[in-house]
């Protein structure tokens, strides 16, 4: 069931609520609308970006792990979570009752998808209202994006959609889901690391790009890195192109720290399994000898940084060995009891911080939608 929502327009720094119109929430089982009126368009799976193929995935894992686990404190990059099993576990997390982020954002799309698409396609100056091409950064299986794609198809009959992700498995599932549930969409997948690589955008004549960066994925980056990721995206867009950014909001009167922590430490233990799975991956791909059960999952709220931190806490004093690989000689890692591996950050935002982030990256905030509990915001911005 969709939650009641508030939407805010931004004009000269002022925000004011206005009435919204909900769109149909039919068949949201998978987060997609069924749109039977338009013929399907053939999908295309693009080859992996050449720069990703320059070295093997195992080489990249080895280099990242060596850098992180020899640093003080020890860290692992969150992209290491997303092997096939990690991607599957994360999809399970998004359906947990404690993990409100996916549910709230999906409800906002169900309420405002039509308005989001219309505002993204508003004429600029003397230009006519353009056709939209949608790209999505870190698309995963695109379980929420179908709501926006269906709204775009209703507006312009056919849509080109370019999901970008490091997981070819997730992109294949996204393509299958969209083909089955949103006729009228041409899918052009891109296997790439969008944080560092240029994206060959499939721009058609007289179209506008709407870039989707949803799910509060931007919160996994430090403020400086988040700015750089959005600047990298902005450099590949034209003035007038749009960005739809999803951001989880910081705790306050309507969202407690306890509610926030529960989203990252669910009762079923799924997030704990997701966190420990990174060690299983290192054992499989690098020949390491981690005992995942010798590490506890821990989620912490860091108020000074406005972020959730995920850690793996060593339950005992122990050694871990990683054989020699392309990144260097064999490693013997010492873990004291209680020592942690910092595996992920999830920064939480205020509306002011969202606006400042967008401005620093070359975007101008034009409209935001928030759920009634102010737990999550979806913001539309224009490339300037």
Per residue in 56-71, pLDDT tens? 678 999 999 999 999 9
Residue 2 has pLDDT above 60, yes or no: no
All residues at 6 or more sequence positions from 97 whose CB lies less than 8 Å from its CB, including other chains? none
For 280, phi then psi, to 5°, come to: -60, -40
Total residues belonging to the chain? 384
Q: What is the pLDDT of residues 197-208, one digit of tens each?
A: 777 676 777 899
CB 247 within 8 A of CB 349: yes
CB 186 within 8 A of CB 158: yes
The tokens of 52 are what? 């990703």
- Tell which residue, 302, 231, 224, 296, has the closest CA to residue 265: 296
Q: What is the pLDDT of residues 260-279, one digit of tens each?
A: 999 999 999 999 999 999 99
Give me the residue spans of the domains in the chain: 5-49+93-252+348-383, 57-90+276-347
CB 161 within 8 A of CB 185: yes
CA angle 123, 126, 132 (to 5 degrees): 30
CB 136 within 8 A of CB 212: yes
The mean pLDDT of 288-311, rounded to a whole number, is 99
Residue 31 has pLDDT above 70, yes or no: no
Q: What's the topology of domain 5-49+93-252+348-383?
A: Rossmann fold (3.40.50)
CA angle 286, 83, 136 (to 5 degrees): 135
Q: What is the pLDDT of residues 110-152, one digit of tens each?
A: 999 999 999 999 987 766 778 999 999 988 888 899 999 999 9
Residue 49 has pLDDT above 80, yes or no: no
- What is the pLDDT confidence band of residue 9, given thresholds at 50, 70 and 90? very low
Residue 12 has pLDDT above 70, yes or no: no
pTM of the shown model:
0.84
Kindly report the average pLDDT of the chain as a whole number. Answer: 85
| Percent of residues, the chain, with pLDDT higher than 70 | 84
Q: How far apart are CA 109 and CA 246, in angstroms?
A: 11
Q: What confidence score (pLDDT) does residue 233 get? A: 94
For 150, phi then psi, to 5°, come to: -65, -40
């Amino acid at each position: 069931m969709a939650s009641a929502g508030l939407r805010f327009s931004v004009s000269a720094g002022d925000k004011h609520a206005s009435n919204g119109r909900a769109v149909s929430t039919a068949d949201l089982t998978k987060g997609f609308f069924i749109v039977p009126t338009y013929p399907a368009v053939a999908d295309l799976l693009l080859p992996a970006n050449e720069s990703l193929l320059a070295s093997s995935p195992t080489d990249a894992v080895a280099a990242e792990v060596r850098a992180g686990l020899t640093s003080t404190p020890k860290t692992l990059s969150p992209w290491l979570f997303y092997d096939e099993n990690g991607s599957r576990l994360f999809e399970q997390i998004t359906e947990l009752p404690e993990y409100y982020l996916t549910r709230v954002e999906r409800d906002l799309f169900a309420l405002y998808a039509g308005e989001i698409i219309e505002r993204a396609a508003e004429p600029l100056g003397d230009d006519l209202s353009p056709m939209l091409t949608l790209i999505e950064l870190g698309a995963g299986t695109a379980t929420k994006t179908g709501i926006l794609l269906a709204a775009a198809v209703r507006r312009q009959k056919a849509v080109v959609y370019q999901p970008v992700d490091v997981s070819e498995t997730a992109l294949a599932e996204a393509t299958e889901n969209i083909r089955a549930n949103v006729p009228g969409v041409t899918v052009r997948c891109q296997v790439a690391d969008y944080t560092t690589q240029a994206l060959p955008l499939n721009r058609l004549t007289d179209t506008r790009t709407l870039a989707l960066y949803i799910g509060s994925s931007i919160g996994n980056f430090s403020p400086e890195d988040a700015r750089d990721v959005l600047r990298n995206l902005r450099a590949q867009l034209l003035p007038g192109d749009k960005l739809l950014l999803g951001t989880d909001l910081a705790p306050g009167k309507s969202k407690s720290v306890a509610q926030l922590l529960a989203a990252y430490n669910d009762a079923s233990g799924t997030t704990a399994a997701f966190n420990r799975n990174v060690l299983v991956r290192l054992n499989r791909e690098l020949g390491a000898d981690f005992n995942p059960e010798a590490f506890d999952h821990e989620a912490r709220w860091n108020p000074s940084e406005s972020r959730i931190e995920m850690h793996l806490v060593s339950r005992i004093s122990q050694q871990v060995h990683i054989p020699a690989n392309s990144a260097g000689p064999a490693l013997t890692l010492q873990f004291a009891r209680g020592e942690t591996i910092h595996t992920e950050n999830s920064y939480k935002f205020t509306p002011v911080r969202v606006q400042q982030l967008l401005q620093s990256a070359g975007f101008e905030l034009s409209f935001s939608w928030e759920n009634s509990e102010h737990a999550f915001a979806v913001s539309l911005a224009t490339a300037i």
